[in-house]
Structure 1
Amino acid sequence: MKSKNIIITGTSRGIGYELAMQFANAGHQVLAISRKTPKELIENPNITCLSIDISNPEELLQVENFINRTWKKVDVLIHNAGSLLHKQFTQITSEEFQNIYKVNVFAVAELTKICIPFMEKGSHVVTISSMGGIQGSMKFAGLAAYSSSKGAVITLSELLAEEYKEQGISFNVLALGAVNTEMLQEAFPGYEAPLSAKEMADYIFNFALTGNKYYNGKVLQVSSSTP
């Protein structure tokens, strides 16, 4: 397979880390974006690391500068970064609610805006959402900010798929169920999920490269358990 230019957010741990390593080891060029950068990513010759806060629009401009300076085009954008808050609704401050949306919604919109001018027909934008963002799915107390933000990016992706279908850019969402990550343990301490981060990364890897042949503007529920 021809080498592709892949941007992944949230690569410091869990699914994002596994994805960055998998794409790089398969010969693709990866831009790994996270606030913290694992040594293994830095040492991989196919990975470029950007240590930035994606909730800060000014820092996101470093992504645009990188693409302009080096790649000139983006084949796949994976919005994997996420911020979680587990707290009773009436105890959530306005600032806390906004901070969740800054990472989970506004950063997705801003980074997509940056990448679209560099995307050609056949490019694929994959947003990692959650089963908690699916209308009608089981909901859990304490996740009002997180789950509602994950619902917002689902609608955003559906709208962008319509807006950019003539350009051949596909937008799809993977609404994940429980995966054994640090974030899951923050939300459900002690819960043992049926899938590891590596196993979920295997699925996302293949979907990011080929899913746009079959889907556009779709939300796929990738879950074998509740939560």
Structure 2
Amino acid sequence: MVVLEDDGVRLRLLRYRDRTAWQAVRARNADWLRPWEASSPVPSRAVSFTEYVAESRRLARRGEALTFVIEVDDEIVGQLSVSPIVLGALRGASIGYWVSRHVAGRGIAPTAVAIAGDHCFTELGLHRLEINIRPENTASLRVVSKLGFRDEGLRRRYLHIDGDWRDHRTFALLAEEVPGGLRERWKRSRGRHAGRDPGSGPAPG
């Protein structure tokens, strides 16, 4: 079982017994998350929580994706996914995340991304990570800015979000660009941004 932790933020793989807590935090944040969450361009059957966890576990066993819950003080306050994980000549992955509105602005999202990023670079041996964010999502844009992800430009109508195809900006980071690790970079950045963090919104994943 992969468990990652730093500065009071813990990432662990989603499990079946998270159902009640996970569904509760999702329900409380439905309106907060709706503008940024993936939707289907064609009619499709809703996936149950049990099916979702089973598929997440299958992908983790195959090394194709990791689906973490984000915990603070043993409370589920969000989720972070590393998906898809592509090896071969690319050795890269995309990261998506969301945090509950009641903990936004506490540095939880960048801490979670930094923890996951270090795991991807060191333990999984990945070379490239990317995060795709809607240009309107200013809170999530601040997350990648604090962590030093490079803006690689606009992707037109890239993902189906909240009922339509939406533009996204792609932000990327290479392993050699953070030789000291993302957590160390975030801690330095956090010192510079102390008292100036108004929020950390979701990025699709």
Give the TM-score of the pair, scaled to structure 2.
0.36
Higher RCO, 1 vs 2 (CA within 8 Å, ≥6 residues apart): 2
In proportion to residue count, which structure has more helix?
1
